[in-house]
A and B are shown apart, each in its own frame.
Chain A
Amino acid sequence: MEPKELNETQKKMLAWIEKAGAASPSRLSAETGLSPKETWGLLNQMAEWGYVVIRDDPDSVDGALVLANAQRTMSQFKQIKRK
């Protein structure tokens, strides 16, 4: 899937996910101040475009876990390190 351009809210979400590495979508919703419905809608789109992975997680309160794409996170980390 070809990565598509994220909107500002998605960029904010992605930055938070990449900082945390992984989090439950509910926590992301609470931290970013987005409603649960909005959060899930945007996350599903980001997962479809390959920015994040959403998977089942029995340890998560909402039964799901959103994980940053490892390759993308690494390249972001290197860019920050270079600066």
Chain B
Amino acid sequence: MKSADVQEEIRELNLAYLMLAQQLVREDREIAMFRLGIGADVADLISGLTTAQIVRLSSQQMMLCRVRFDDSALLGMLTGEGRDAATASLHAAIIAAGRPVETLA
């Protein structure tokens, strides 16, 4: 993959992420906080971004969202290892819901 392509892909993903996140937060703040794994301060920040700010923020060279579940047991469950898919996903959801969220330092 060429570096210009990579940058373009990252920019597109950042833009899509920010737009989705903002839409979710504006629709239902608390449920969005859960789905995105963010705290109240980050949620307010995202919902207050203007379109120009979103465009500028997404054209960074780095990804704005990061891997949320950096835990091998949890990743195994989320990818469906275990006796059956339905219970594995329930198990993963129970553990994931107890995880701390991203907040502003």
Same assembly: no
